Amino acid sequence: MALLEIINTQQTANKETQSIKQVLIQPSETKTSFAYADESLRAYSGRAELRHHNQILKLFSLFLIISLAYTNYGWYTHSNYLAKQQYVVYRVLPSGETSVNNSTAFQDSPTPEQIKFKAWEFIKWIMTAGSNDVDRCYAEARVLLHPSAYAKFDEFASKVKPGIKELAIYRLIPKADSRFMEKGDLPEGSQGDITQYDVIVTGTVDTYRLGNNEISDQRLFAFHVRLTPLQAPTSQNPYALLVADFEDIKLPDEKKK
């Protein structure tokens, strides 16, 4: 019995020794509370980098848009500038010399727009003359006349200018139109010929008292202007046109009123 107890005791001791060895041999698992935080930091770092790239892309796109808008504006302003310039013609003469002339020097005749503009320019000086600038306005209008129309214009000016000076007014034209004369514009029974240089200038003239912004009078006007072409344009007259005749008229629609 004593021997049996010794054996059992020895077996029990061996089992305890093995369990202790297992405990000692088994690696310990390291646990930390920062594992989830590390994953969050890595995810946030990736998003931050993506946002950084997106910001750079947005700035680059904005720069492209601004650059495109500026380029388009530059082309627009430059095209408008070129549109206002006259074409230049370089002509090589038989002698070998090169002459430089404005394109208008090679026009056979004035364009329709040039004809209508010249008629409007003449009427504008007459109809916008006020008490303080009537002399200057009529002088500018006289420059546009052909010498054959000087006498008629001077007579017209001598009748109109004194009254304008006494009224203490200034005048503006808010709306005007120039068109070529048609057969319906001729007086009844008239057998006059209509040419490409006959223009009808119509519009509205507003009259103001000096020192007052209120309209004191408003009326319609209509003029028949006949132009005559010159042989060649000059620097003072690039359209090569002068006013040969003018008259205040009433259009057919106005006569019925």
Measured CA distances, 201 to 2, 65, 82 (Å): 147, 47, 29
Q: Mean pLDDT over residues 97-101, rounded?
A: 79
State the first-to-last Cα distance of the chain, in angstroms, to the nearest integer.
153
Can you give the residue ranges of every domain in the chain?
109-255
How confident is the model over 113-171, as pLDDT tens digits?
999 999 999 999 999 999 999 999 999 999 999 999 999 999 999 999 999 999 999 99
Q: Which fold has domain 109-255?
A: Nuclear Transport Factor 2; Chain: A, (3.10.450)
Where is pLDDT greater, at 94 or 136? Answer: 136
Between CA 57 and CA 244 the distance in angstroms is 68
Question: What is residue 256's predicted lDDT score, i.e. its pLDDT?
Answer: 47
Check if the beta carbon of residue 176 is closer than 8 Å to that of residue 121. Answer: no
Polymer length of the chain: 257
Q: Mean pLDDT over residues 33-62, rounded?
A: 70
Between CA 228 and CA 53 the distance in angstroms is 71
Where is pLDDT greater, at 28 or 124? Answer: 124
Handedness of CA 161, 162, 163, 167 (dihedral sign): positive
Instruction: Quote the longest CA-to-CA distance of the chain.
Output: 166
pLDDT bin (cut points 50, 70, 90) of residue 3 is very low
